[in-house]
Amino acid sequence: MEKVREIYIHMACGHHASLPFNSLCVRTCVRGVQSTQEKQACREKSMQDRLRLGHFTTVRHGASFTEQWTDGYAFQNLIRQQESINQQREDIERQRKLLAKRKPPSSSVSQSPGASLAEPKQRKNKAVNGADNEPFLKPSLPQLLTLAEYHEQEEIFKLRLGHLKKEEAEIQAELERLERVRNLHIRELKRISNEDSSQFKDHPTLNERYLLLHLLGRGGFSEVYKVGPLMTRHTHHTPPSGDSNGLAFDLIEQRYAAVKIHQLNKNWREEKKENYHKHACREYRIHKQLDHPRIVKLYDYFSLDTDTFCTVLEYCEGNDLDFYLKQHKLMSEKEARSIVMQIVNALRYLNQIKPPIIHYDLKPGNILLVDGTACGEIKITDFGLSKIMDDDNYGVDGMDLTSQGAGTYWYLPPECFVVGKEPPKISNKVDVWSVGVLFFQCLYGRKPFGHNQSQQDILQENTILKATEVQFPVKPVASNEAKAFIRRCLAYRKEDRFDVHQLGSDSYLLPHMRRSSSSGNLAASPASSSLISY
């Protein structure tokens, strides 16, 4: 607030700057102060959550140091409750075994009450006194109960076990909820640590327009910041020698945006830097022309220096689909279908513009959930690997895949892994395969191919080249129509796979479709039944 006070003093003393400039400075300082207060509040909350949810500690192993996670008291209390329940269950089972030894013989059902009472007494006396020909006394046998007494005690044990089972389920549900909260807490701890070590942490103004508010995340060579532009001028820039994305807030238009700051390694060779710059400029040119409600908009780009450049994108408040699936594992078919419908709608747009575009990197991390839930709007982002299907590169058989090896292998189709004298041909059917993998993962909480494999293992073991048929788990249950749709997306031979236009007209995605398990005969269509390998 001291900086704001100084500006007001300058204004009162007749500062030579124009009134819009003074007003702009005040808004800038106020926004910076607000951001500082928000950052302080985040750190205070994080410190409180450290005790409840846990924290990282540095542990020494020989000459090296590693970070180790320690759970907070909330988890420790639940673990103690689980241990107490297990102990109580063991005690009850032990008592049930003792009770079984006192169970009356089945023949006692037909005996008179007097006979059933006399038999335990006779057995007890015989056990204590011993047989006539035995010199030592035998230990007393458990006194038998009447049938009514036995069933009464057995019922008590069953009720106690049922109560413990209910308590255990409640504790497990609370543990799962806490784990989701802990994931958010861990992500916030890492974000704060990255922000504190960033050179942009003190709210600098970039390009005389964008006020950095706080760090959203950090990648390999980039940082994503929430920022605010200081003026509304729109100038054309020469394509930068690099790119980055970030988050911003327009102080004039009241609009947040995402700013990604890319910082190249100063030790890179000039050739490598130049290639990175060309790739960045290409992505910008592709993304800049796109205007669709299901695609993140690109607002601006500029360079800070020869090794640092930025791009300004539309800001989405929620998380991406990858984080959602890590938190919730899967979702309902209705929610997954809604997400797929929106993705396909965006893909149809990409294939209707001239020249058409293949995204090539559709995966959960590039699907943004606008409000962070699975029942809202989505937006596709990251066009770094996209392909332009212009007349010079695209023919009847598709276009050459010149960047073989790039991408996320779990979501790429078999034709992207074929090695030969000529590069493989690809089309928009690459994105169709990715849609099928995404849909499967949303429904079942796992990838259809190479689920527990690394990208290196997938490549070495030819996992995708062997993915001739998709297998559906028994649980959770999905409709036959959904399975048939996935089969059409994951048809092994690209000749048998739907293209984007066919997928957009698929009956499963059309509104008011009658849902019945009997319509599962769609799975027998040629596009879904062909499993011929190369």
Contacts of 173 (CB under 8 A, 6+ apart): none
Distance CA 306, CA 264 (A): 9
Closest CA to 145 of 123, 167, 174: 123
- Clarify whether 506 is annotated catalytic: no
- Other CB atoms within 10 Å distance of the CB of residue 238: 9
- Tell me phi and psi for residue 370, to 5 degrees: -55, -45
- Other CB atoms within 10 Å distance of the CB of residue 44: 10
Three-state DSSP state, 353: coil
* Catalytic member of 361, 382, 431, 506: 361
**Residue 282 structure tokens:** 């290409």
Complete DSSP assignment for 46-92: HHHHHHHHEEEEEEEETTEEEEEEEE-HHHHHHHHHHHHHHHHHHHH
CB contact at 8 A, 177 and 77: no
- Per-residue burial over 170-200, b = 16 or more CB atoms within 10 Å of its CB, e = otherwise: ebeeebeebeeebeebbeebebbeebeebeb
CB contact at 8 A, 322 and 408: no
Tell me which H or E stretch contains 222.
strand 222-229
- Tell me phi and psi for residue 461, to 5 degrees: -95, 5
Distance CA 487, CA 482 (A): 9
| Whole-Å CA distances, 132 to 129, 136, 263 | 8, 10, 97
Distance CA 247, CA 417 (A): 36
CB contact at 8 A, 478 and 400: no
Contacts of 48 (CB under 8 A, 6+ apart): none
Q: How far apart are the first and last CA of the chain?
A: 68
Active-site residues: which are they? 361
